[in-house]
Amino acid sequence: MQVSVLKAAALIDPQVQSNFHIEYSIRQTTPLHRHDYFEIFIITSGKCTHHINGEAQYLEKGMMVFIRPDDTHYYDFYDEETDCQFINVNFYKEVVEDAFKYFETPVFAQKLKGLQMPPCIILPPADMEALIRKSKQIHLYTSIDKQKARIMARSFLTDALTYYFFKEQDENQKKMPQWLDALLLELQKKENFTGGLNRLNELSRHSVGHINRVFKQYLHTTPTAYINHLRLVYAKNLLLTTNLTILEIALEAGFDNLSHFYHLFKKNYGASPGKIRYR
């Protein structure tokens, strides 16, 4: 089956940076295709079979699916008697990447983008209705006030990603060992995350090898990366709320190598500490 490619340039309003439409029937949907943009759709009635990346996924009312660029998919009838209706909201790649930065959790973004199957969650009815109303406002404002439409689209996107974020957190907490949950709570304290790996190991009372395996299993990261993330979030807050020099902030956050601090900061936030401060 030939794969068509849908382009953001042909579909998305550059001033709104998003697009909303309703699919009233499976018959109206595009055959096998992929996009160069992100897409979020919510099943509003009925059910269908969603063929995605070579797998079949059953969807019904209330399910929200996060489609990444280059996911290959199409929709089919669940059975001969049942049709399906859903709303569809599309976004430029850079808009979604900016939204991920809001969560300041690179692991979350990497997981949503890296899964073989696109993330899918079931929305409570009230939350589904709230997102549907917000998505329809994108469409309304697009024709009368593009700035409001753009703001509404960003709000919809942040809300939708928040549901995925908390679902992931809930799933991790259900499986997470009690000692790891307690350790992560202690690491939120400045005196602990600035103490680095030595302090982490003291608090955990487990072997270094065991800690590394558990962090990879439950947090999909390393202890070093986790500690550095906490330090960088703290450093960014100091940049935006104090007049401390960048060297003072690096030391205050637990970095004893200024060059290393600059490297990690730019890698995480896409800009140097100085540019973040004066944006």
What are the pLDDT digits (tens) for 187-218? 989 999 999 999 999 999 899 999 999 888 87
Average pLDDT rounded to a whole number, residues 256-274? 89
Full-model pTM = 0.63
Report the alpha-carbon distance of residue 105 to residue 221 in Å, rounded.
Answer: 11
pLDDT surpasses 60 at 130 = yes
Query: Which residues fall within 8 angstroms of residue 103, CB to CB, at 6 or more apart?
Result: 109, 161, 165
3-state secondary structure 71-107: CCEEEEECECCECEEEEEEEECHHHHHHHHHHHCCHH
Residue 30: pLDDT band (50, 70, 90) is very high
Report the alpha-carbon distance of residue 148 to residue 16 in Å, rounded.
Answer: 8
Residue 170: pLDDT band (50, 70, 90) is low
Q: Tokens 């790649």 identify what position?
A: 93
Q: Tokens 């409570």 identify what position?
A: 124
Query: What CATH code is assigned to 4-173?
Result: 2.60.120.280
Residue 31: pLDDT band (50, 70, 90) is very high
pLDDT surpasses 70 at 171 = no
161 or 166: which leads in pLDDT = 161
165 or 140: which leads in pLDDT = 140
Report the alpha-carbon distance of residue 41 to residue 37 in Å, rounded.
Answer: 13
Question: Cα 14 to the chain's mean position, in Å?
Answer: 22
pLDDT surpasses 90 at 145 = yes
pLDDT at 144: 94
What are the pLDDT digits (tens) for 42-67? 999 999 999 999 889 999 999 999 99
Q: Tokens representing 208?
A: 């270094």
Report the alpha-carbon distance of residue 193 to residue 199 in Å, rounded.
Answer: 7
Residue 278: pLDDT band (50, 70, 90) is low
Query: What CATH code is assigned to 176-277?
Result: 1.10.10.60
pLDDT at 168: 64
Domain coordinates in residue numbering, the chain: 4-173, 176-277
The rounded radius of gyration (Å) of the Cα atoms in the chain is 22
Report the alpha-carbon distance of residue 5 to residue 230 in Å, rounded.
Answer: 40
Half-sphere exposure for 41 (CA within 13 Å, toward CB): 25
38 or 279: which leads in pLDDT = 38
